[in-house]
Structure 1
Amino acid sequence: MTTQDSNSIYHQLIATELLQWQTAMRRKPNFWNRTTKKVQKKVNSIIPEKVHKAITKAIKEITRAVIFGSGFTTRTRREVKTLEEIEIKVKERINFYSSSAAVEGAATGFGGFLLSLADFPLWLTLKMKMLFEIASRYGYDTKDYKERVYILYIFQLTFSSQQLRNEVFEKMENWEITKEKLPNDFNAFDWRTFQLEYRDYIDLAKLLQLIPGIGAIAGALVNHKLTNKLGKTAVNAYRMRDERFREVKMLNP
């Protein structure tokens, strides 16, 4: 089999995976999604506004520090590689970060309540670092402000309700149009929705990390599973921007 034939077969497999993923991202909220969202909204309405503001500010500042940190200006890789070669390396990095997140989750879970509080910034840093590396592997310049917003959209797409997932996916699917409309001020990003959706998505799973005896196991499993999920979302999000798969988008408008 020639290299060209191998690439063609790989592209066909990827096209199928991408179409399945796009279909899942476009799926409308079902009864369970809507019911869960209503319950979460009710709970959030009970929480005092000053608490929401404090949490929003904390998440915003932590995320900004990660996004703009000097350690996250990953150099864009310019060497020419096939998509298959790129994705072999990407999957290696996803496995690395998923395993690292599992170790971190186990350590903080084993330490009880106080150490579990430290899990949020540590785990967030690992996830963002992974996204930066994935973007770089696919050839995107992570120094570009708009590429960093795309990274935030990937994060949101993974840790959101199905309703918001539909909205974010539409922006990403039409990225060339979306990025031209982005405000120049990073503060204009909807941080309130970002933190509420993220908290609602992971709260139940992460609560298990606070329970003595099983906290370490829960922390390891949750961190590994969700970090891996984020990595897979990123892979498909960057595949979607590849000109070779534009026809996939046309198959399922």
Structure 2
Amino acid sequence: MNDYELKVYDEVEDWKRKLTRRSGMMNRISKKAQGKINGMIPEKVHEMMTESIKGMVKTTLFGSQLTTNKDQAAGLTLAERDELMRKKTAVFQKTALVEGAGTGAGGILLGLADFPLLLSIKMKFLFEAASIYGFNTKEFEERLFILHIFQLAFSSDEIRRETLSEIENWEERKQTLVEMDWRKFQQEYRDYIDLVKMFQLVPGIGAFVGAYANNNLLKHLGETAMNAYRLRILKKAPEL
């Protein structure tokens, strides 16, 4: 492999080490509190929320499939794909920032609208990422991989490690995965963003919090997607 691929391999290994580190104390306390709250929510409500997010995601997946340019990275090297990915991430960060500022400034009602809007922006971005790295999202397993990237980015320590393991062994794992665990998917995502997004509903600071949070969430998703696809491309350590 060339020098750039060797550099990327080291970056991916460093990223994996960061992913598998234990979260900070505040995150662990927050997750524990959210777990208790989730335990108090009636099962019917959990089922309703799961079906709602499942419907939102599937609708967004369908729309993104239609609007993504499938040939935008044809013939590019890995270095060129990475550069295109960085530019695409910056564009989507700005989109999410504007959306977060707008809904945050609008108070509680518009703040609630932020959830599906931001979710659609993230899913559209992941379709673009798949296209950049040369993966065909018409294939069911590639759409499933997109959902695993999303879960890898927005989940607790335990689920993050499980998801990373599935992504590292995707060629084997995809044969046994027929559907996403939607209950786990929605609960992990809500728990991850609830604390930050709650402050977006506060009058006076909502616009700032919404813009800042959305920008950082897309930046984090961009890093996760880039390295997840790099991991699949570089299946083994480069030979020196």
Place the TM-score, normalised by the shorter chain, in its bin: over 0.9
Q: Hey, what does 1:232 align to over in structure 2?
A: 223
Name the TM-score, length of structure 1 as normaliser: 0.88
Correspondences of 1:1-253 after superposition (within 5 Å): 8-27=2-21, 34-69=28-63, 71-72=65-66, 74-77=68-71, 79-183=74-178, 188-243=179-234, 246-247=236-237
Q: Deviations over 1:191-225 (max 9, x none)?
A: 11111100000000001100000000000000000
Aligned-pair distance for 1:34?
Answer: 4.8
Cα distance between partner residues in 2 of 1:32 and 1:163: 16
Contact 1:116 1:209 in 2 (8 A): yes
Structure 1's unaligned 5+ residue stretches are: 1-6, 249-253
CA distance in 2, matches of 1:70, 1:41: 32
Alignment RMSD, CA only?
2.0
What is the rounded CA distance, in whole Å, between the counterparts of 1:120 and 1:31 in structure 2? 26
TM (normalized to structure 2)?
A: 0.92
CA distance change for structure 1 residues 80 and 67 in 2, over 3 Å: closer, same or farther?
same
Identity across the alignment (%): 47
Provide the C-alpha distance between the structure 1 equivalents of 2:60 and 2:112, rounded to a whole number of angstroms. 17
Query: For the residues of structure 1 that align with 2:219 and 2:24, how far apart are their CA atoms?
Result: 24
Letter in 1 for 2:62: F
What is the aligned length?
238
Indicate the SS of the match to 1:60: helix
- Contact in 1 for aligned 2:64/2:123 (Cα 8 Å): no
Structure 2: gaps (5+ residues): none
